[in-house]
Amino acid sequence: MDGARARGEIGSMSGSDRNLTWHAGEVSASDRARALGHGAATVWLTGLSGSGKSTLCRRVERTLVERGVGAYVLDGDNVRMGLNADLGFGAKDREENIRRIGEVAKLMTDAGLVVLTAFISPFRADRARVRSIVPAGQFLEVHVATSIDECERRDPKGLYAKARRGEIRDFTGIDSPYEPPDAPELVVGHDGVSADVNAARIVEMLEIRGIVPR
Ligand SMILES: Nc1ncnc2c1ncn2[C@@H]1O[C@H](COP(=O)(O)OS(=O)(=O)O)[C@@H](OP(=O)(O)O)[C@H]1O
Ligand SMILES: Nc1ncnc2c1ncn2[C@@H]1O[C@H](COP(=O)(O)OP(=O)(O)O)[C@@H](O)[C@H]1O
């Protein structure tokens, strides 16, 4: 880690305090949308491990790409193996995890893509911070509200069993909190509803909001 960051010197400093200047581009968001044939957004899925975030993101990504829409999934485990390989699951590290992913999602949205994110993102304040940096109307929070009983029954990675045995600490829903969104743009994942139906509802939300063509 760089010395200034390690010493906590840069966290609260503004760009001008650090001799930084923001450079605006020559291409506007609407120039980009016209060139690409669709709008851009960060579709932020949040929910427990095993709720279906990855499955739904991948299905929506496939549907959109098949229609010629530039879409890309940022996925929890993948990002934690690369960009955020230095972060664990304590509250502070989860906050930093979501902060960095939020910045990446913002840039990718600015580049004109439909970004689909699949992170537990258990804390309301962290999700609200991401909402605040993405342009208004382009941050769409989707609560994958699958019950903990159903997530634990699925247990696709065997992590709930490990957490119950005390082999994983700070596991969301077991011994670490999950704060559901107060006002998400969409709620999916009710027990008994298929992944295809849930994915179609996310695509429909993007169509209704005029982000992707029907
Ligand atoms: N302690 C603990 N709690 C929750 N999850 C854990 C933990 N340890 C490892 N895993 C695995 O990490 C994935 C969650 O990573 P995220 O980056 O989405 O988490 S967070 O948003 O920072 O809370 C999560 O993936 P998903 O199942 O896709 O949600 C797990 O595979
Ligand atoms: N209706 C559904 N929606 C999404 N996933 C479902 C559904 N029903 C069963 N599943 C299964 O549940 C598991 C969800 O895992 P995953 O998508 O990795 O969740 P998360 O990313 O939230 O941890 C997958 O094995 C998926 O096949």
Question: Which pLDDT tens digit goes with each residue over 125-153?
Answer: 999 999 999 999 999 999 999 999 999 99
Q: Which domain holds residue 120?
A: 30-209
121 is catalytic: yes
Number of domains in the chain: 1
The answer to whether residue 19 is domain-embedded is no
CATH of the domain at 150: 3.40.50.300
Q: Is the distance from the beta carbon of residue 55 to the nearest atom of ligand 2 less than 6 Å?
A: yes
List, in sequence order, every beta strand (DSSP E) within 88-188. Answer: 114-118, 139-144, 186-188
Q: What is the pLDDT of residues 44-89, one digit of tens each?
A: 999 999 999 999 999 999 999 999 999 999 998 899 999 999 999 9
Reported ipTM: 0.98
Q: Is residue 143 part of a domain?
A: yes
Q: 107 in a domain, yes or no?
A: yes
Provide, rounded to the nearest whole percent, the portion of the chain with pLDDT above 70.
Answer: 94
The finding on whether 44 has its CB within 6 A of some atom of ligand 1 is: no
Count CA atoms within 13 Å of residue 200 on its CB side: 5
Q: What's the whole-model pTM score?
A: 0.95
In a domain, 43, yes or no: yes
Sorting pLDDT into bands at 50, 70 and 90, what band is 18? confident
Decide if 103 is inside a domain: yes
Residues 168-200: tens digit of each pLDDT: 999 999 999 999 999 999 999 998 999 999 999
Best mutation site among 49, 53, 55 for ligand 2 pocket (most ligand atoms within 8 Å of CB) = 55
Does residue 16 fall inside a structural domain? no
Q: Is 112 in the pocket of ligand 2 (CB under 6 A)?
A: no
Residue 25 inside a domain? The answer is no
From 119, 125, 142, 152, select the one nearest 50 (Cα to Cα): 152
- State the distance from the centre of ligand 2 to the C-alpha of 70, rounded, in angstroms: 23
CA of 40 to the centre of ligand 2 (A): 25
Q: Using alpha carbons only, give the angle 122, 76, 92 rounded to the nearest 5 degrees.
A: 45
Residue 8 within a domain? no
